Amino acid sequence: MQIELTVNGAPRSDEVEPRLLLVHYLRQRCGLRAANVGCDTTSCGACTVLVNGRSVKSCTMLAVQAAGQEITTAEGLATGGEMHPVQQAFRQEHGLQCGFCTPGMVMAAAGLLAENPHPTEAEVREGLEGNFCRCTGYHNIVRAVLSAAEDMSA
């Protein structure tokens, strides 16, 4: 099937197999490999991207369902060579170790802050419940998101 969509601000048109998952489309066809595949049950969130600004697990969506939508991946979050405040906060607060969950976690956090710019710690934890991290114990991820929220409203 032919799909037309926008990926990180650039229009694309591709012929895809109907069963192709969005995450595989992004990784294999677009060469955008920041989003990772961490499970096969839509549990871990390592593949999270933004679809029209809302965070979506891209293993749960077919590429054909993304037709006509605007997709943003971690590669597209920085602007003008400057990391997004969420990315900067993850670095500053040591919110990542092995990095595998990180692109998905960052996109989930960006989506969360778009919906709720001033979350409490509990709201951050609930908002990221669908994104697994094995390294950080979530401690510094939560701090990073709270810190990014402050930075973005400053």
Partner 1 sequence: MSILGTRVVRTEDPGFLTTGAVYTDDVVDERLAGTCHVFFVRSPIAHARIRAVDVSAALESPGVIAAFTGAALADLPPLAPPMPDLVDGRMAQPLLARDVVRYVGEPVAVVITEDTYQGEDAAELVSADYDPLPAVVDLAAAADDPPSLLFPEAGTNVTATFGDASALQADLFDGCEVVVSRTIVNQRVAPAPMETRAAAAVWGDDGRLTAWIPNQGAQGTRGALAAMLAIDPSSLRIITPDVGGAFGAKFGADPEHAVVCWVARQLGRPARWAETRNENMIAMTHGRAQRQTITIGGSRDGTVTAYRLEILQDSGAYPRFGAFLPALTILMAPGPYAISRAEAVARSVVTNTTPVGAYRGAGRPEATAAVERAIDMFAAEIGRDPAEVRRVNLLPKFTQPHRTAFGAVYDSGDYVTALDAALDAAGYAALRAEQARRRAAGDVTQLGIGLASYVEITGAGAESGAPRENATVEVFPDGSATILTGTSPHGQGHATVWAMLASEELGIPVDRITVKWGDTDLIPEGGGTGGSRSLQQGGVAVRQASLELLEVARERAAAALEANPADLVFEPERSAFEVAGDPDAAVPLAKLAVEERLVVRTVFIAPGATFPFGAHVAVVEVDTETGKVVLRRVVTVDDAGTVINPLLAEGQRHGGIAQGAAQAFLEEVLYDADGNPLTATFADYPFLSATEVPSFELADMATPTSYNPLGVKGIGEAGTIGATPAVQNAVIDALAHLGVRHIDLPATPQRVWRALQDVSAGKDA
**Which part of the chain contacts partner 1 (CB under 8 A), choosing from 7-15, 35-43, 47-55, 64-72?**
35-43
Least Å distance, CB 153 to partner 1, is: 21
- Interaction of residue 50 with partner 1, rule CB under 8 A: no
Out of 22, 34, 62, 113, name the contact with partner 1 by CB under 8 A.
34
Out of 40, 79, 80, 154, name the contact with partner 1 by CB under 8 A.
40
- Interaction of residue 1 with partner 1, rule CB under 8 A: no
* Count of positions (residues) in the chain: 154
Subset of residues 87 to 126 that bind partner 1, contact rule: CB under 8 A:
87, 90-92, 94, 96-103, 106, 121, 124-126
- Interaction of residue 9 with partner 1, rule CB under 8 A: no
**Which part of the chain contacts partner 1 (CB under 8 A), choosing from 5-13, 49-57, 110-118, 140-148?**
140-148
Cβ closest to partner 1, residue 66 vs residue 110: 110
DSSP the chain: -EEEEEETTEEEEEE--TT-BHHHIIIIIS---SS----SSS-S-TTEEEETTEEEETTSSBGGGGTT-EEE-GGGT-BTTBPPHHHHHHHHTT--SS-SSHHHHHHHHHHHHHH-SS--HHHHHHHTTTS--SSSTTHHHHHHHHHHHHHHH-
- Interaction of residue 152 with partner 1, rule CB under 8 A: no
